[in-house]
């Protein structure tokens, strides 16, 4: 039988002697309460820095998720092109947000419209660099949303130019209005008139609506893919890999841990767990709703639409996850599922739009619902489960007897649509006139992998077919 070895008398004596020597050698100083408080504050600051860097890394991984969703829901012959677009979105986004994106978003305010200094991150200290990193990974997401909606027929060159303008102008200007603390939706005449500031916790409008309604402008101008509509009716063009699409969806869902969790901006926040719980309750509810709708409508649950239901729930809860009870998160997700299904059908059958991945409905329409849901379900600052959270919506929603929060949310929604759709429509129109927004018909038929990049993502598969 195994027996624990005893140190013995000599061993115990040596251990005791060592402890006495350490007590004699090491300086003995009792820390003052002020020193203890300072040490605790330093630890809390360090924890927040690490939290934001980690969450930024998780959000960065979402670009892999977007890539997989897009290539999974599109055809083999355009895989390399989509990978290159998403990869360069990240690379351009990093540099452009350093050059001007941060400055226009968080620089010194000018008239509540735009930031006016800190170009090239001039004067940045370590705290600002940490914030830059976290905000930068958000910035490129808007362009990635546009990439999916306009996939399989858009010029690579035109897309790259648009990405620069999205990250350097479209996204940061609206972001300044909402997140700078000095923008027109959080201070100034509009807020004074309504009596309360606009609330978008992590970007249902700043990121998703801006991306979704910019995508709407692009899809309208670039037109549908060849063969998408026959005699005015939409034709299904299957993607080449449902496994990749589902893997991408799950990576994106994981990314929301950083997206919403990190938006507390405080690694010591006591409500991080509840923020994330609300996020995933909405995600699950959105997917379940679409599953049930498609099952009832067609007799078979639709996989790709169900995956989009999860994303719609995530997009919708992003604005309110720090302001609502868990039961409200479930309702927000369920309604987002309805919206994304109806939105996809409306785009295809009524507007005759071709959006291969459903990005407009997922990000644009569901994002708009997320903004309105704040004005309906928010508990209000100082009340309920988020009573002492600095980031919760200031006003109570309609269900709690408030109306001001709903009013400002409607105003912000309208401004988001006008800004994103309007400026993107102009940019795409100019790009189309100058260089052509759409690739030639023969290039689209052959596939953008070969025509735009000179290689296939699956050379063995192509050779086998030949």
| Backbone φ, ψ for residue 299 (5° rounding) | 85, -5
β-bridge mates for residue 114, sequence order: 110
What average pLDDT values come out for the chain (466 residues) when binned by 10 residues? Answer: 44 62 55 75 84 96 97 97 97 98 97 96 92 94 93 97 98 98 97 98 98 98 97 94 98 97 92 97 98 97 98 98 98 98 98 98 98 98 91 96 98 98 98 97 96 91 53
Domain contains 314: yes
Spatial contact of 282 and 313, defined as CB atoms under 8 Å apart: yes
Q: Residue-wise over 368-407: b if at least 16 C-beta within 10 A, else e?
A: bbbbbbbbbbbbbbeeeebeebebbbbbbbeeeebebbbb
Spatial contact of 212 and 359, defined as CB atoms under 8 Å apart: yes
Spatial contact of 320 and 373, defined as CB atoms under 8 Å apart: yes
Contacts of 427 (CB under 8 A, 6+ apart): 162, 165, 170
Spatial contact of 309 and 286, defined as CB atoms under 8 Å apart: yes
Q: Which residue from 323, 203, 182 is spatially nearest to 263, judged by alpha carbons? A: 203
Give the global pTM. 0.91
Contacts of 141 (CB under 8 A, 6+ apart): 59, 62, 63, 66, 207, 211
Q: Which residue from 237, 433, 399 is spatially nearest to 325, judged by alpha carbons? A: 399
Q: What is the CATH number of the domain that holds 299?
A: 1.10.3430.10
Q: Give the span between the Cα atoms of 63 and 141, in whole angstroms.
A: 7
Q: Give the span between the Cα atoms of 138 and 56, in whole angstroms.
A: 8
In terms of residue numbers, what domain contains 303?
41-465
Please name the residue that has the structure tokens 């959006």. Answer: 355
Domain contains 164: yes
Domain contains 266: yes
Q: Give the span between the Cα atoms of 441 and 1, in whole angstroms.
A: 81
Domain contains 215: yes
Contacts of 18 (CB under 8 A, 6+ apart): none
Tell me how many domains the chain contains.
Answer: 1
At 93 the pLDDT is 97
Spatial contact of 393 and 380, defined as CB atoms under 8 Å apart: yes
Q: Which residue from 224, 245, 246 is spatially nearest to 236, judged by alpha carbons? A: 224
Domain contains 142: yes
Spatial contact of 196 and 401, defined as CB atoms under 8 Å apart: no
Domain contains 34: no
Domain contains 404: yes
Domain contains 3: no
DSSP state of 225: P
| Backbone φ, ψ for residue 347 (5° rounding) | -60, -45
Q: Which residue from 118, 126, 125 is spatially nearest to 100, judged by alpha carbons? A: 118
Contacts of 117 (CB under 8 A, 6+ apart): 103, 107, 108
């Amino acid at each position: 039988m195994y027996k624990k070895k005893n140190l013995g008398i000599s061993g115990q004596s040596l251990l005791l002697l060592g402890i006495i020597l350490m007590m004699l050698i090491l300086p003995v100083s009792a820390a003052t309460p002020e020193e203890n408080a300072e040490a605790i504050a330093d630890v809390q600051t360090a924890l927040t820095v690490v939290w934001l860097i980690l969450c930024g890394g998780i959000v960065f991984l979402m670009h892999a998720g977007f890539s997989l969703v897009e290539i999974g829901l599109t055809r083999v012959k355009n895989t390399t092109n989509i990978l290159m677009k998403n990869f360069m979105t990240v690379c351009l986004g990093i540099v452009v947000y350093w050059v001007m994106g941060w400055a226009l978003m968080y620089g010194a305010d000018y008239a509540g419209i735009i930031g006016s200094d800190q170009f090239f991150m001039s004067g940045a200290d370590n705290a600002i660099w940490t914030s830059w990193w976290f905000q930068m990974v958000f910035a490129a997401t808007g362009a990635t949303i546009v990439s999916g909606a306009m996939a399989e027929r858009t010029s690579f060159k035109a897309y790259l130019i648009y990405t620069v303008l999205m990250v350097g102008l479209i996204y940061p200007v609206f972001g300044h209005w909402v997140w700078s603390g000095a923008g027109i939706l959080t201070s100034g005449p509009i807020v004074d008139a309504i009596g309360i500031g606009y609330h978008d916790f992590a970007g249902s409008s700043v990121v998703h609506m801006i991306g979704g309604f910019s995508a709407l402008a692009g899809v309208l101008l670039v037109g549908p893919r060849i063969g998408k509509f026959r005699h005015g009716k939409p034709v299904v063009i299957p993607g080449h890999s449902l496994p990749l699409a589902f893997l991408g969806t799950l990576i994106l869902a994981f990314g929301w841990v950083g997206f919403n969790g990190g938006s507390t901006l405080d690694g010591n926040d006591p409500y991080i767990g509840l923020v994330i719980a609300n996020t995933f309750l909405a995600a699950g509810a959105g997917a379940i709703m679409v599953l049930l709708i498609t099952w009832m409508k067609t007799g078979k649950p639709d996989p790709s639409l169900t995956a989009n239901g999860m994303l719609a729930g995530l997009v919708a809860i992003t604005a309110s996850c720090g302001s609502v009870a868990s039961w409200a998160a479930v309702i927000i997700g369920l309604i987002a599922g309805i919206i994304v299904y109806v939105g996809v059908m409306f785009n295809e059958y009524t507007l005759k739009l071709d959006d291969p991945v459903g990005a407009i409905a997922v990000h644009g329409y569901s994002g708009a619902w997320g903004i309105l849901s704040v004005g309906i379900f928010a508990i209000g600052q100082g009340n309920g489960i988020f009573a002492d959270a600095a980031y919760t919506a200031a006003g109570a929603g309609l269900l709690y007897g408030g109306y001001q929060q709903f009013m400002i949310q409607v105003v912000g929604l309208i401004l988001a649509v006008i800004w994103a759709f309007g400026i993107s429509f102009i940019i795409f129109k100019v790009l189309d006139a100058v260089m052509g927004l759409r690739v030639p018909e023969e290039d689209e038929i052959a596939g953008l992998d070969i025509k735009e990049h000179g290689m296939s993502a699956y050379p063995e598969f192509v050779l086998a077919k030949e």
